Structures are given as structure tokens and as C-alpha cells.
Amino acid sequence: MRGAGRWDDGRGQDGRMEHENLMAGPPATYLPNNPDADAMLADRRDPAEVAAKFPAYPAAWAALAERAFGKGEVVQAYAYARTGYHRGLDQLRRAGWRGQGPIPWEHGPNRGFLRALHVLSQSAAAIGEDDEAERCRDFLRDSSAEAAAQLGD
């Protein structure tokens, strides 16, 4: 026996083979809530103030990136989006993400990361980083088809 209830050949105690679902993809990953930062953005506080108080909060960086991109400040948008993207990756890894799998748009805290990824794609394209823009678009679509649809990607 290898462990409680399993025989060396992979059979359970009842003699039937036990199988892991190999077709199931990795589980979805959910970023943690940050109610204080959410409240500041909901109260229309400047995203720069929110980012300064909560630098690990991707939604603040995404808001800064979106604002800069909307003004045509693509280099600033790229920098803000890249910061939000990397802050989000750090949190995704802490939440158990292993480089692939769903990051559902439906979970509010994931939206900041997904928005930053979207603006990173847009701003990368605007500065001629076509390979990075394509990788970011693919990453967004692979992570959340709903996010790609909502964000127009």
C-alpha cells in the first residue's frame, strides 16, 4: 500500500482503478479583496493617491494606465499598466496561480489585473512593441474570455 486506501497499482481498496481527471485544466485563481482601496476608487479619489497608499493594488495602476492612455500618454500608460500587471502577477502567484489557468473577470478583485493587462497590450502596440502586445492579448483571452469581451479585445 502507498497510502491509506490505495494499493501500489493505483487501485482503491475496492479493487477499482482510481483516476485523476487529467482533462480538467488548472483551477481558477482569485485575487484577494482590498475593501479600503476599493472604497477610495469608488469615492472617486485620484488613482495616484490610491496607488501611493496601496501600491500592490492592481486596480489603481489600471486606472492610472487607462487615464494616461485616454490622454494619448502612451509611454506613461505603458509604465502604469506594467506596474499593475506585475503587482497582479505577484498576488496571483501568492494565491496559487502557476502560470496558467482562468483568472475570472466575474471576481471583482481580478478586474484590476485584467484591465492592466489590457492597457499593457494597447500601449505596447502604440509604442511598436508588437510581440509584447500580442502576448498580452493572448494572455488576456486565455485568462478570461469575458474580460477580453468586456474590454473590447
Q: What one-character-per-residue DSSP string does 68-130 give?
A: HHHTT-HHHHHHHHHHHHHHHHHHHHHTT--S-S---TTSTTHHHHHHHHHHHHHHHHHTT-H
Q: Is residue 84 assigned to a domain?
A: yes
Burial class (CB in 10 A: 0-12, 13-18, 19+), 92: buried
Answer yes or no: is 1 within a domain: no
Q: What is the pLDDT of residue 24?
A: 73
Query: In the chain, which residues have pLDDT < 70?
Result: 1-23
**pLDDT at residue 15, as a whole number:** 53
Q: Is residue 147 part of a domain?
A: yes
Residue 136, domain member (yes or no): yes
pLDDT of residue 98: 92
C-alpha 15/C-alpha 82 separation (Å) is: 53
Question: How many angstroms separate the CA atoms of 67 and 42, rounded?
Answer: 16
Residues in Cβ contact with 92 at an 8 Å cutoff, skipping those fewer than 6 apart = 29, 31, 103, 113
**60: closest CA among 47, 70, 73, 49?**
47
For the chain, the average pLDDT equals 89
* pLDDT given for residue 11 in this prediction: 46
Residue 7 lies in a domain: no
Contact of 46 with 80, CB cutoff 8 Å: no
In a domain, 19, yes or no: no
Structural domain range at position 119? 35-151
Q: Could you give the 3-state DSSP secondary structure of residue 36?
A: helix
Give pLDDT, residue 23.
Answer: 63
48 in a structural domain: yes
User: What pLDDT does 89 receive?
Assistant: 97
Number of domains making up the chain:
1
> Residue 98 falls within a domain, yes or no?
yes
